[in-house]
Structure 1
Amino acid sequence: MPVSDPVQEPLRDVIARHGLDARKALGQHFLLDPGITARIAALAGDLAGRHVVEVGPGPGGLTRSLLATTAASVTAVEIDRRAVAVIEELVAHFPGRLRLVEADATRHDLTELCPPPRQIVANLPYNVGTPLLVGWLRQAASWERLTLMFQMEVAERICAAPDTSHYGRLAVLAQWTCQAALVMRIPPGAFSPPPKVHSAVVSLIPHPTQPEPALFRAMEQVTAAAFGQRRKMLRGSLRGIGGEILLAEAGIAGDRRAETLSIPEFDRLARCHAARTA
């Protein structure tokens, strides 16, 4: 039976009552420490008047912390029917302020769920974190900020600098569209069940000027080719998209490798590619 005050019920009791054992197929690792969830909510900045979307709320720990802020509204997007039942109890406790959407976030345009100014704050399921992020970067102009938890390796890839081992396509797409920073590290023991790796929260604040969709597609094509064969020199890895001409137009030497290019250099390549394919 639902408890009278779902905000006060310990999350482990919520999980037991709803049979909400974490499922590997859904990439679930639940964050139960209210101190940590409160810190994550605080990392999103002043949420007064903001509409927040949370993906994969699970037992609702982060949801509770978001509702404890001054956010105008919180929309929780959940695909797991067991977790839906948990969040429905919170919805009843916060009528008009918490909304539940039962949907697959990878197939849903989250900008349709709430008006601006809007943010995403989420402990993302490990198995879909990267594709979700890339989809949101395509529409970065629609978001004020993204505060997202990933596996540590993914977080490092998002924030990596050029000419480092983690620098790749994800770093270029993220830093081209946003100011990206790794703002919190979380050990495995903070989760139930504990994952095999550390996790980290990344803050992404979109740049004031965002690329048009055609330019973003061009950047996706350029980075996919460049990093798809990262051991090759650019004249070879970019051959399939007119590499020699692109490199000449962008003023970049063909004997360089993708990981040595800065974000502005990738921007030049993408703009040249977009112009040639328009």
Structure 2
Amino acid sequence: MSTPPLPPIRDVIQRHGLAASKALGQNFLLDEQLLARIAALPGDLAGAQVLEVGPGPGGLTRALLRAGARVTAIEMDRRCLPALAELGESFPGQLTVIEGDALKLDHNALMNAEPFHVLSNLPYNVGTALFVRWLSGEAWPPLWQSLTLMFQREVADRIAAGAGEDAYGRLAVLAQWRSEARLAMKVHRSAFTPPPKVMSAIVHVTPAAMPEGVSARMLERLTEAAFGQRRKMLRQSLKGVPGALEALSRIGIDETRRAETVSVAEFVALARALGAARAEP
């Protein structure tokens, strides 16, 4: 597929005076080969719907458009809108730009309730909140078919960690109990303008089968309580969740363990047992 020639991203930034905003958590990616590699992570995007949050000057956006995607981009920095409008003119009918706050918008409605992929160099100050939102809720499978997201490296590690690892916590359980999550690519701080103080990484997540008999809300409540006091034994951290200690005993999880040692599968089993107990007459 032939694509129109475009000026270097650095030139676009300079021409539009787009200094990255620290308040908005912006760090721009300029390496077009790296951006193309990121856009390729979900597989063939030709004709696919893609949601992008915080496109900024449109570096990743142009890689997605070149891949043939139909992109809906949410941008709250109106300084970036003229640059994105120019990009849209180069790819007629492929780019829709929404000015607004991604945390306040209904993403499924924006995508016309059709399946979509999410690819984004997420603004650091909203990345985790958006990620938890995409993973939450009882409805499953979700409309999103994959999440390909840039995070600070420490957050990416928390998403992909296994039980017993230092980074393992609530975010790992939420990401892995009904999804496949992996650290797909490390990104050096020097790839950004301006360079952030920390390293970054790309996380790739795809939906998996939802375990039967498990409420998402119950699992979220258990992990919130357990990891809210992660250094305490389960008998202490979960005592505020009615029936949790009895459920631990029923499925054979030692109440003297700490949350960081409890696997995703064990949290799922605990949520199932607690839900079953509450459903009993």
TM-score (norm 1): 0.92
Match of 1:113 in 2: 110
Superposed, which structure 2 residues align to 1:126-145 within 5 Å?
Answer: 126-138=124-136, 141-145=142-146
Match of 1:18 in 2: 16
Deviation at 1:6, TM superposition (A): 8.8
Q: Distance in 2 between matches of 1:275 and 1:171?
A: 24
Answering whether residue 47 of structure 2 is matched by residue 46 of structure 1, we say no
Answering whether residue 94 of structure 2 is matched by residue 97 of structure 1, we say yes
Q: Distance in 1 between matches of 2:62 and 2:50?
A: 12
Secondary structure of the residue that 2:230 maps to in structure 1?
coil
Deviation at 1:232, TM superposition (A): 0.6
Evaluate the alpha carbon distance shift between residue 70 and residue 155 of structure 1 in structure 2; reply closer, same or farther with a 3 A threshold: same
Q: Distance in 1 between matches of 2:47 and 2:188?
A: 32
Compare 196-205 and 7-16 and name the one that shifted more: 7-16
User: Could you list the per-position Cα deviations for residues 69-118 of structure 1 after superposition, in whole angstroms to 9, with x for gaps in the alignment?
Assistant: 132x1111111111122212212222211111111111112111224331
Give the AA of the match of 1:162: A
Gaps of 5+ in 2: none
Deviation at 1:67, TM superposition (A): 0.4
Is 1:49–1:117's contact at 8 Å kept on the other side of the alignment?
no
Give the AA of the match of 2:202: V
Q: Distance in 1 between matches of 2:103 and 2:5?
A: 28
Q: Distance in 2 between matches of 1:8 and 1:141?
A: 35
Q: Distance in 2 between matches of 1:108 and 1:216?
A: 22
Match of 1:79 in 2: 76
Secondary structure of the residue that 2:240 maps to in structure 1?
helix
Secondary structure of the residue that 2:118 maps to in structure 1?
strand
Q: Distance in 2 between matches of 1:158 and 1:10?
A: 33
Match of 1:159 in 2: 160
Q: Distance in 2 between matches of 1:187 and 1:237?
A: 38
Match of 1:175 in 2: 176
Give the AA of the match of 1:226: A
Give the AA of the match of 1:102: E
Evaluate the alpha carbon distance shift between residue 198 and residue 261 of structure 1 in structure 2; reply closer, same or farther with a 3 A threshold: same
Q: Distance in 2 between matches of 1:125 and 1:274?
A: 36
Give the AA of the match of 2:218: A
Evaluate the alpha carbon distance shift between residue 151 and residue 6 of structure 1 in structure 2; reply closer, same or farther with a 3 A threshold: farther
Give the AA of the match of 2:163: P
Deviation at 1:17, TM superposition (A): 2.0
Deviation at 1:193, TM superposition (A): 0.2
How many corresponding residue pairs? Answer: 272
Q: Distance in 2 between matches of 1:9 and 1:38?
A: 16
Q: Distance in 1 between matches of 2:164 and 2:135?
A: 23
Answering whether residue 233 of structure 2 is matched by residue 233 of structure 1, we say yes
Match of 1:207 in 2: 208
Match of 2:32 in 1: 34
Superposed, which structure 2 residues align to 1:220-259 within 5 Å?
Answer: 220-242=220-242, 243-259=244-260
Secondary structure of the residue that 1:46 maps to in structure 2?
coil
Please provide the CA RMSD for this pair: 2.0
Evaluate the alpha carbon distance shift between residue 269 and residue 132 of structure 1 in structure 2; reply closer, same or farther with a 3 A threshold: same
Evaluate the alpha carbon distance shift between residue 210 and residue 99 of structure 1 in structure 2; reply closer, same or farther with a 3 A threshold: farther
Deviation at 1:177, TM superposition (A): 2.2
TM-score (norm 2): 0.91
Query: Which one has a larger percent helix, Structure 1 or Structure 2?
Result: 1
Secondary structure of the residue that 1:25 maps to in structure 2?
coil
- % identical equivalent positions: 54
Match of 2:190 in 1: 189
Evaluate the alpha carbon distance shift between residue 172 and residue 215 of structure 1 in structure 2; reply closer, same or farther with a 3 A threshold: same
Q: Distance in 2 between matches of 1:77 and 1:211?
A: 35
